[in-house]
Structure formats: structure tokens, C-alpha cells
Amino acid sequence: MADEETNVIIGLEVHCQLDTKSKLFCGCSANFRADAPNTHVCPVCLGLPGALPVLNKNAIEFALRVAKALNCTFTKEGEFCRKNYFYPDLVKAYQITMGDSPLATGGYIEIEDDAGNPKIVSLTRIHVEEDPGRLVHMGSKERGHYTLVDYNRSGIPLIEMVTEPELSSPKEARRLLSKLRATLEYLDVFDPEKDGSIRVDANISFRGHERVEIKNISSYKGVEKALTFEITRQKNLIRRGGTIARETRHFQERKGTTSSARSKETATDYRYFPEPDLPVIRVADWVETIALPELPDARRDRFMQQYSIAVGHARTITGDLRLAEFYEGIVDVGATVAASWVADILIGELNYRGMALETVTTRAQEFKNLISLVRSKTITDKAGVEVLRVWLDNLYAGDRTETPAQIVARLGLSREDGSSFRVIVEQTLASNHQAIADHKAGKKGALNFIVGQVLKETKGKSEPREIHAMVAELIGE
């Protein structure tokens, strides 16, 4: 690793939409994504003159759960304040947020560093604020002649979590986000599947150089990409003897690059002051009454103990609440084999197809049956993967009728006894004299070549180990 890279300092500001039923300061439904623009609005979230905010208790409860789970210290009196700035998506020309007195400070998140060792990342603060509306630019930037505003999002509750600048690599940043996401999911306060439900600002600098802020990155992958790009850019600049400007940059998701935000003549002055329309909130007694569910780390440890599965499997499976629930639902088919099928095979096949986990979690019994087929040696591991692929392809295409067992039957994938392949093995040996000669001459891999030919012929219905033994036997070893 180059010297510079060990000196990278990264801090994150993570904004997640809290998955409440209604908005932060009014009764409008927060479930707006499927609906027409400006249909989830009222005088309050439109900022109409005279309208006043009323705090959604649920949103605070959600944020308190997060703060408690992340070991934060609670502020005696949390105070909302106004962040004043002009922008067409901001109905009141101020955002109600929290300043000097957030809900909670301190706290930490445990992740693994790039070497796989545990690492504690400190949190600076946690607070709650309102999301602004959304601008929709019509036409291209150069030729676009108007912009539409949709206020459905205006007033959606956001939780902002700020880390200390203690991350040392883009991968660490991504792991922190994954951990944070899992924790919020376990706490039942966040739905990562909702479009735009997470936004991240990342600060990055090389020790001894100015800090650059990358604003508004809207995916986990994006954060890693943007930071990786920035490291290269800053490193090159420093090598060429340039200076890093302290600035805000935007991330272009599609290109994977960052570009300087047009620097303003003067720094923005948000003129923060306490929000006079809302009382301070005292949470000390409230926090006491909040019970936390089992969190990702605890569940990981329990899985390792209760089901005797490997740490890697346990970590992967518990890193996503729905995956963990799914796993526990099918664990009686065999804990180890189920863990392997979920963590090593299923996730990859789903990702490859861009399919949501829900397609499988809603059909857990069928997936379980598939594992049973493998476990009972009705089909081989290889055939099992083949069945899974066909099954997923079917689901992807909208065909939900065929069960894994039916797929096995249709494709004739049932495992057959080694003896039924004897003819194929003999034929393969007969047409591969050279390979046998190579093997006898001590060339490694020659035998595997023959076994591979047979496996190909038998279409995965045979166990590699049995074929291997049969080949060895037939060539007299």
C-alpha cells in the first residue's frame, strides 16, 4: 500500500429517511413514491404562511432507538433550529434541523478494517431533520427550459448520523454504511429498498492536506466509488506538487467521477437559530422505556453458537435482516448446508439477475425443498445449482408454477449411481489415450481432465468423487 493511502482520513455524514407512516411535522402520508407529484402535501409541508410544525413522536422514537443501539449519550434538551437558505425545493426557505443540541452525541459503530480486524468508529452526533422537496429538471442542463418541483418528499423525516474522521479506506466506508443500514433495518426504522432513502456526504483528506467534501451520494457503491476516485485524484495532484483546494464536489454516479461544485463568492451562512415554533425535547426518561431488539452483531454471535456456522457465513447472513430471517426460517433443513446455500450461492445468483431477495423469501418452502434434494443426495450439488438457476430464471420471467422437484424431473437431473456412468467413463477413457499417458507420465491434472469430460457428459448427475474413483479403478490404480 502506498504511503499516501495509509494517510487517508474519511468521515461520513449519513442521512436516512426514517420509515414512519406520516411526515415529520404534519399528518401527510410518508408513503408517496407510487403517487402523482404534489399529492402528499398540506399547508404545513408546503410551508404555507401561518402553518406550524407539530413534531411526529414516532420519528423521534425511531431516532432514539438508533442512538441507543449505537451507544450514544443523550442530550438533556434536544433543540430544533432553523437552517436558513433559499432553494426552490425548500418551502419555508429554512430547514428545521438540530444544531448545538442534537438528540444524541458520541456513540460508536464496530466494523472490520481492511485486514479483517475489528475497528471502532466513533460517532459525533445524531439528529433528526426534515427532507426538502425534489426538483425535476426537464430537458438537458444546456437546453432545459424549466424545472418542476415535487413537494411529496417535503417534510419526510431524516436521521443524520455523523462519524468522526476515523475511516481509512473506501472499503471501510462501505462496510460502515452496510453495518449502519443493517442496524437501522433491525431496529425497524428504515427501508433501504426505497429509492433515495439514503444520502451520504463524505469528507476525505490526506493527512496534512485540505479536506474535500463530496455531497449527496445516493448509494453504498457510490460512496466507495466516489472516495476511490477522490483518492486517485488527490494523490496525483499531490504528486504533481499541486494543492488540494478545500471545496465541495459532486459525484457523477454514471461516470464514477467527482467534479468541483461551482464555488460561491462567499461561504454560505445558514443563520442557525432555535426554532421558536417547537418546544425543546427531553428524552432521558423516554430512552429508558425503549427496548432494543437483537442487533446484527448479537445475532451473528448467536448464529455461530446456536447453529455452529462459520463466522463468514454468519456475518453475511446477519448483515441483512431479511436474509437472517429467511435463514432462520429454513435452518431446520440443516444449519450448515443452509448457510452455505444462502451465503455462498443464493446471494450471488440473485445479484447476478438483479432480483430482490423477496422473490425467494416469499417462497422459502421451495428453496428449502431444493436444499433437501441436495441433502438427501437426490441431486448432486452441481445439479442443485443448476436447478436453482432454472428456478430463478423462471421466477424472473414471471413463471411461478414449476417447483424445484419438477425442474429436476423435467431436466432429468436426478443423481444416478456411479455404476450407471460406467459406459460413459469407459468411452471417455477410450478416446483420451494421450491423457492417460500423460497421467502415467506423472503430469498433474491429466486425470482431472478426464473426470471433467465425464462430468460434462453426465450433465451434473454424477458425483465428482465417484467418477474420480471409477476412472482410477479403470486405469488400474
In the complex, the residues that contact another protein under the rule CB under 8 A are 43, 46-55, 82, 84, 86, 88, 91-94, 149, 269, 271-273, 276-279
Helices 404-411 + 381-396 axis angle, to 10? 110
Closest by Cα among 372, 311, 304 to 337 = 372
DSSP letters spanning 29-50: BS--TTS-TT-S--TTTTT-TT
Closest approach of Cβ 56 to another protein, in Å? 11
User: Is 223 buried (19+), middle (13-18) or exposed (0-12) by CB count in 10 A?
Assistant: buried
Instruction: Supply 63's cell numbers.
Output: 431516532
129 vs 386 by CB, closer to another protein = 129
What minimum distance in Å lies between the beta carbon of 270 and another protein? 9
> For another protein, which is the closer residue by CB, 276 or 442?
276
Shortest distance, position 274 Cβ to another protein, whole Å: 8
Shortest distance in whole angstroms from residue 41 CB to another protein: 10
Cα angle value 167/260/127 (rounded, 5°): 45
In the complex with another protein, the residue whose CB is nearer, 269 or 332, is: 269
What is the closest distance, in whole angstroms, from the C-beta atom of residue 246 to another protein in the complex? Answer: 17
Residue 98 region by backbone torsions, left for phi larger than 0, else alpha for psi between -120 and 50, else beta: beta
* Residue 27 vs 293, nearer CB to another protein: 27
Q: What are phi and psi of 111, to 5 degrees?
A: -130, -175
CB of 109 to another protein, least distance (A): 32
Of 423, 411, 426, residue with least CA distance to 461: 411
End-to-end CA distance of the chain: 49
Q: C-alpha grid cell for residue 406? A: 419438477
Q: Which of 134, 156, 126, 183 is nearest to 56 (CA)?
A: 156
Kindly state the smallest distance separating residue 281's Cβ from another protein, in Å: 10
CB of 319 to another protein, least distance (A): 39
Nearer to another protein, 21 or 57 (CB): 57
Q: Which is nearer to another protein, 84 or 178 (CB)?
A: 84
Sign of CA dihedral 406, 410, 414, 417: positive
The smaller minimum CB distance to another protein, of residues 54 and 120, is found at 54
Instruction: Tell me which DSSP letter residue 373 carries.
Output: H
Radius of gyration of the chain (CA): 28
Considering beta carbons, is residue 55 or 304 the nearer one to another protein? 55
Residue nearer to another protein on the CB measure, 51 or 411: 51
In whole angstroms, the minimum distance from the beta carbon of 87 to another protein comes to 8
With helix as H, strand as E and coil as C, how does 139-167 read? Answer: CCCCCCCEEEEECCCCCCEEEEEEECCCE
Residues 6+ apart with CB under 8 A from 94: 82, 83, 84, 85
Cβ proximity to another protein: between 147 and 351 the closer is 147
User: What are the DSSP calls for 298-343, one per residue?
Assistant: HHHHHHHHHH---HHHHHHHHTSHHHHHHHHHHGGG-HHHHHHIII
C-alpha cell at 132: 426538502
